[in-house]
Structure 1
Amino acid sequence: MTKTTDFGILLVLAYQEFVHELREALTAQGFDDQGRSDGYVLRTLDAEPLTVSALAERLEITKQGAGQIIDDMERRGYVVRMPSPFDGRARIVRLSQRGQDALAAARKFHHNYERRLKRSHGAETVEAVRELLGAMAGEHDPAGPQLRALYL
């Protein structure tokens, strides 16, 4: 890369490399069937089990679309549906053990990736980049629609 490479392009390339390494790490741990939206859904359901309707609202997609995502993730063993303890007619979706394990593996990768950057570039540099990226990102909810748009 040259200094004339646009800043936005560098951000995109860095993000793509990060995702590529994340996918490789998850594949090596047996999570080779991850879908594009899985990470977002796993993080959302880790915060709280939801009905498909509530998940659809969070994802800002149709209930049918959310149902298809959950059907697929359930088929692959990442989520389970169970009766709601509050509404006998409703079913909630929660992470299965495989879903919890996949999320834990992804979080461990995130932690190790940042540690690796600190070893190679110094903690001060990484903290400065983190601060800069935080300022650029603004006050967005990490589970909000801005992040969701990257995955769906």
Structure 2
Amino acid sequence: MDLATLMLISYRAMDERIVGTLQRDGYEVTVAQARIAQRLAPEGSRLTDLARQAQVTKQTASLVVAGLERAGLVERVPDPVDGRARIIRLTSRGRAASRRAAQVAMEVEREWEGHLGPELAGQLRTALLELREVNDPYR
């Protein structure tokens, strides 16, 4: 199996664990919604930026954001720089869900470190950060 597929398997396992926990905690969120929400900048993001980062069409991103709005996790507010544009930002409920998702991600990482050991887990993080530097146009 190629390296990218192996990384994707771990990524999806993390995604499923986070989304499953959020759903059990009463947050109505799908994997697609979680992937968009995790890309929100702390001050909020424009829809076009979210779509570009998630590598989906603006129409797809808009549908996903509408679902997040219905769940009370995000809101659209006027962009302070451009009154014609809207910024999508987390609501207080969305921030609580984001904190919970971060807790679950840390739990999973601790489990992975338990399996790999601290040295190998640290090497893996370093290697992935190096790959990110050369491959992530959105950093």
Distance 2:42 2:131 in 1: 25
Number of aligned positions between the proteins:
138
Deviations 1:117-140 (A, max 9, x none): 334442112112323444555623
* Amino acid in structure 2 at the alignment position of 1:24: G
The answer to whether 1:96 aligns with 2:91 is yes
* Amino acid in structure 2 at the alignment position of 1:63: K
Runs (4 or more) in structure 1 with deviation over 6 Å come to none
Identity among equivalent positions (%) equals: 28
Distance 1:111 1:143, change over 3 A: farther
Residue of structure 2 aligned with 1:17, choices 10, 13, 16:
13
Q: Which residue is 1:28 aligned to? A: 24
Distance 1:142 1:109, change over 3 A: farther
* Amino acid in structure 1 at the alignment position of 2:86: R
Give the TM-score taking structure 1 as reference length.
Answer: 0.69
Rg larger in structure:
1
Distance 1:57 1:21 in 2: 25
What are the equivalent positions in structure 2 for 1:102-113 lying under 5 Å apart? 102-113=97-108
Work out whether residues 19 and 30 of structure 2, in 8 Å CA contact, stay in contact via their aligned partners in 1: no
Q: Which residue is 2:33 aligned to? A: 38
Higher RCO (C-alpha 8 Å, min separation 6): 1
* Amino acid in structure 2 at the alignment position of 1:23: V
Moved more, 67-76 or 123-132: 123-132
Q: Which residue is 2:69 aligned to? A: 74
* Amino acid in structure 1 at the alignment position of 2:18: L
Q: For structure 2, list consecutive stretches of 5 or more residues without a partner in the other structure.
A: none
The answer to whether 1:124 aligns with 2:119 is yes
Distance 1:108 1:84 in 2: 30
* Amino acid in structure 1 at the alignment position of 2:21: A
Give the TM-score taking structure 2 as reference length.
Answer: 0.74
Deviations 1:37-94 (A, max 9, x none): 2233222223442233443344444433322222111111111011222333322211
Distance 1:116 1:99 in 2: 26
Distance 1:131 1:141 in 2: 15
Structure 1 residue 110 displacement after superposition: 1.4
Equivalent position SS for 1:80: strand
Distance 1:128 1:76, change over 3 A: same
Q: For structure 1, list consecutive stretches of 5 or more residues without a partner in the other structure.
A: 1-5, 145-152
